[in-house]
Structure 1
Amino acid sequence: MIRYRFGRDDLLHTRFAIAPLMELLGAFYVLRRPDRSPVHRRWVEWAAPRVPTLDLSLLDAAAPFGGPYWPVFVSPPPREPHPTIETELDRVAATPPEQVVAEITQRYGADLPAAARPFVDDPARALDRLVDQMRSLWAAVLAPRWAAVSALLESELTARARGLVAVGSRAAFADLHPSASWAADCLTVRGTGRTADVDLAGRGLLLIPSAFTWPLVWPRIDPPWDPALVYPPAGIGDIWEPAPTGGAALEALIGRRRARILRELDRPAATLDLAGRIRVSAGGISDHLTVLRHAGLVTRRREGRRVVYARTLAGDALCR
């Protein structure tokens, strides 16, 4: 059981983030033991045939199952709310060699397996190979489906952050996970296999929703992490449902012309550019862009004499 104890300033410093590396490691776990994650069955059926040709031996050694300690360098804490996978892989590659040796040794002790020995014998070269393996796995099984996963996580962040601001701590932590409960300024997480009493001491708590941790939570309390909790958000069971074909649903929601404009903004464009592509007057396009901008689906910026429009994250999600 782990207790996160909140002081006066900790709720102010509680924050949310998406961690692509955490998703990558979670997806790797699911692929190795798919029977434990029936909610991801559709994804496993699609992803598993893409993996056998990949060399993932170093990733397997750096992200083992079980045990009281998991090497931290393979998934450092995110420094921003929504980092890219390349940003996170760069941080893995920049891990000091002595840290790699120390964490691998702490994980395995005297029982160092042959697959993990490169991290001790030549940690710099092993790191380079590890990052290559992680990048290959991402490209094969997550990059093509990242839009769906990212949309789910973003919606979870928005809902939790809104609840924290509007209602307070009870809303932020309510229904977080069956193993987590909030009472008397303390978030208690049971069934973790560890026991710790963590005084947040003004650091706040980092909350990271993750599709591939299901059905578990992953408390993070080992340095260099600040206190964090990785948890599965609601709605995971729906993300692998086949997407509807065509654009009829979007057109029915916002109208055929606005749906066309929103799709055309997969790359930023000015009013005249859109008018030329769609063959509609610039005035008509401008009226539709105003509606889309007020709805939070597009944004605009000035580039010299031109005003360029682009889709927002909400616009991207709606198009998906």
Structure 2
Amino acid sequence: MIAWEFGAADLAGLRFAHSPMAELVASVFALRAGPAPWIRPGWRARVSTALGGWPTLRAVLFGPRGYAPDFLTPVPSVARPRLADELAVLAATPADRVAEQVRAGWGAVAPAEVERFVTDPRGALAALITEIRAYHQVAIVPLWPRLRAVADAEIAARVRAAAERSPRALLDGLHPRLDWDGSALLLKYPDKTDEWPGEGQDLTLLPTGFAGPQVYALTGSPTGRSLWYAPRGYGNIWDAEREPDAALSALLGPTRAAVLTLLAAPASTGDIADRLGLAAATASHHLTTLRDTGLVAAERSGRRLLYQRTHLGDQLTG
């Protein structure tokens, strides 16, 4: 177990954000880990097939030590950064730091793409950023609306729980591998024992759909410290395009069954109307009926009201 210093006073500096680069790097971790039931095989096959076109990205993120350089995932300065915002931070990373962290992923012998970070760090970093954009288009963009919606719903639910109960609710039940004893965050890794100082830095929680069953802690970034964890319902991100089955359509009617199936990931009335070609009033009527019967619940995220299936709704869709 790792004890990461985090006292009651640190709650005042706790914040949430959703990071495109955290999702991207976590998706690479998921690829490296091999097949998993919570990720669609089609996504894995599509991304794995394209990896050959990104030699610098492969060298940096698929090295033998399973290491991802910290500079790739700066702690966001805003709650909802764009990929372009985060890539601008990457591009400004000092060249010596880039070279040191990339080289740390390899032993004595490294491929030419890695050695270039030592001899031509700026050129190598530019090549890496170009390949990150290409990877993002293939691996992340098709899922991005659902990844962002699930993260938004998670953040809204945690903030509301903290307002209704106590600030501790921001951390309670965050993840099975995580606990808080009032003075330290306890990361339950059976093969690791350590104590990490707080170092006076605020903590940013990053709900990250691709984190899956893992929790990732970033402690050495000059932009702060962060903790990546999967938001509730992360496994449904890949199910949102599933067609409703015949039995569900017979029970609820085809349109209402389609609405419930789409709500594997959070969506607004407008999202549902657009994706099913419905009038906004019709989508609203179906959502209200599903909410009144306990199959979906609504959470406000900023100015948007997001609907998502309840546990009962998940059971009904199978």
> Which TM-score applies when normalising by structure 1?
0.72
RMSD of the alignment, in Å? 3.0
**Closer/same/farther in 2, CA of residues 188 and 33 from structure 1, 3 Å limit:** closer
Match of 1:246 among 266, 271, 276: 276
Pairwise mapping of residues 219-258 of structure 1 onto structure 2 (< 5 A)? 219-243=217-241, 244=258, 246-248=276-278, 251-254=281-284
The one-letter code of the counterpart of 1:246 is: L
The 5 A counterparts of 1:113-262 are: 113-191=111-189, 194-200=192-198, 202-243=200-241, 244=258, 246-248=276-278, 251-254=281-284
Count residues in correspondence.
263
- Post-superposition shift, 1:191? 1.1
Match of 1:13 in 2: 13
Deviation of the 1:226 alpha carbon: 2.2
Q: 1:128 to 1:45 in 2, by over 3 A?
A: closer
Q: Cα 1:101–1:13, aligned 2, differ >3 Å: closer, same or farther?
A: same
1:61-76 pair list within 5 angstroms: 61-64=59-62, 67=65, 70-76=68-74
Structure 1 residue 18: Cα displacement: 0.6
Structure 1 residues 40, 205: closer, same or farther in 2, change over 3 A? same
**Counterpart check, 1:44 vs 2:46:** no
Q: CA deviation at 1:218?
A: 0.5
Partner of 1:110: 108
Q: Secondary structure at the match of 1:191?
A: coil
Map 1:71-86 to 2 at 5 A. Answer: 71-86=69-84
**Quick one: which amino acid aligns to residue 142 of structure 1?**
I
Report if aligned partners of 2:8, 2:183 keep a CA contact under 8 Å in 1: no
Contact 2:215 2:227 in 1 (8 A): yes
Bigger radius of gyration: 1
- Identity of paired residues, percent? 29
* 1:123 counterpart letter in structure 2: P
Q: 1:249 to 1:237 in 2, by over 3 A?
A: farther
Give me the whole-angstrom Cα distance separating, in 1, the residues matched to 2:105 and 2:45: 32
Contact 2:203 2:224 in 1 (8 A): yes
C-alpha deviation, 1:198, in angstroms: 2.9
Structure 1 residue 29, shift from structure 2 partner? 3.1
Q: Say if 1:119 and 1:127, in contact at 8 Å, map to a contact too.
A: yes
Contact 1:17/1:209, CA 8 A, preserved across alignment: yes
Q: What 5-or-longer segments of structure 1 have no aligned partner?
A: 257-294, 298-311
Q: Gaps (5+ residues) in structure 2?
A: 242-257, 259-274, 287-298, 308-318
- What's 1:274 paired with? none
**2: distance between equivalents of 1:158 and 1:89?**
27
For the residues of structure 2 that align with 1:313 and 1:204, how far apart are their CA atoms?
A: 27
Conserved 8 A contact 2:18-2:79: yes
Name the stretch that deviates more: 171-180 or 190-199.
190-199
Displacement of 1:173 after TM fit? 1.6
* C-alpha spacing 1:134/1:219, structure 2 compared with 1 (3 Å): same
Read off the aligned partner of 2:229 and give its amino acid letter: Y
State how far apart, in whole Å, the 1-side matches of 2:6 and 2:171 are: 12
Q: Aligned partners of 1:16 and 1:210: how far apart in 2?
A: 11
* Alpha-carbon spacing, 1:242–1:181, altered in 2? closer, same or farther (3 Å): closer
- Structure 1 residues 43 and 14: CA distance shift in structure 2, 3 A: farther
The alpha carbon displacement at 1:79 in A equals 1.5
Amino acid at match of 1:147: P
